[in-house]
Amino acid sequence: MRNIFDLTKEELEAYFLEIGEKKFKATQVYEWLYQKKERDINNFSNLKKEIRERLLQDFTTFFIKIEKKQEDKLVKKYLFRLYDNNFIEAVLMEHDYGLSICVSSEVGCNMGCSFCESGRQKKVRNLEAYEIVEEILAIEEDLKTRIKSVVIMGIGEPLDNYDNIIRFIKIINDAKGLQIGARHITLSTCGIVPKIYELAKLPLQINLAISLHAPNDELRNKLMPVNKVYNIGVLKQAIRDYLSVTGRRVTIEYVMLEYINDSEKEAHELIELFKGMNIYVNLIPYNETNHLEFKRSSKKRLMNFYNILKTCGLNTTIRKEFGGNIDAACGQLRGSMNEK
């Protein structure tokens, strides 16, 4: 039985037409689910009893459970238990512009990036669209507030779960859904090139971020196995084509690993790689974990790297740090729960 939070409004409209009802009923259901935040179909009072009974017969409303919550200044990290007793994480961050949530897209991850705690835990399965939607709904319910910005950058590779991610985006972006504007939705990928081309063709205005983390193939092959399939040259061309088709600026994510990818040499290689392209580089201070030997770049090396990029005209920011006093690394909270 399909979860009702898994349906786009168009799919729900098709369902109502199929059972001989007017398609505007889909809008009414969406308003109950996403604006009135009502999960009990029995309480959808503007739908006649026969329709409510049919919905209860055809759909489940199972909801993910908050298993644990950690809090630090301007950040809350949630561990969720799924219907099959797997665990995922989401992180809520308070910015000047409002609340932003970083959601997971898979249970585990098969990309195997050597510096990533999530990659240490192999992929169990894709998340269904409704499970990703419910990460947002559960946190909104917990805090009694609305989330206006979403980053698909938690556990998992979003483009490895492409169909469910696109459904998720349509649901949260819908004017009768969670009403999160497309330009407040960011999808982060390690570089699944064929899916980047597919994404470019869709009528979406979301933000695309590329987890690069190395400016040459030799280093990126060591850090990110995906580079052996889609190397930097192939990825760069996909970024060029995405820029051409969408006209949307692309973010290049670059985690700063001390004495690994943070020298002046790598800075100049990064400049050469992206000069003249409509991108900006987001330098990310590394969250260290007990399981991996990588260390974060010192402030001196980070600032030197940043200054080289800026001086040479590359648009660059340093990501604000969150969660220094909790299990900040992506996958760290889930990993500790699984080990228990």
Rounded CA-CA distance 6/24 in Å is 18
Is 330 annotated in the active site? yes
CB 256 within 8 A of CB 316: no
Choose the catalytic residue: 109, 113, 116, 330. 330
Is 89 annotated in the active site? yes
Bridge partners of residue 95, in order along the sequence: 98
Residue 65 CB-half CA count within 13 A:
7
CB 117 within 8 A of CB 328: no
Identify residue 9 by its one-letter amino acid code: K
Choose the catalytic residue: 13, 89, 106, 128. 89
User: Based on C-alpha coordinates, what's the Rg of the chain?
Assistant: 21
Give the per-residue SS3 of the chain. CEEHHHCCHHHHHHHHHHCCCCCHHHHHHHHHHHHCCCCCHHHCCCCCHHHHHHHHHHEECCCCEEEEEEEECCEEEEEEECCCCCEEEEEEEEECCEEEEEECCEECCCCCCCCCHHHHCCCCEECCHHHHHHHHHHHHHHHCCCCCEEEECCCCCHHHHHHHHHHHHHHHHCCCCCCCCHHHEEEEECCCHHHHHHHHHCCCCCEEEEECCCCCHHHHHHHCHHHHCCCHHHHHHHHHHHHHHHCCCEEEEEEEECCCCCCHHHHHHHHHHHCCCCEEEEEEECCCCCCCCCCECCHHHHHHHHHHHHHCCCCEEECCCCCCCCCCCCCHHHHHHHHC
Enzyme catalytic residues: 89, 330
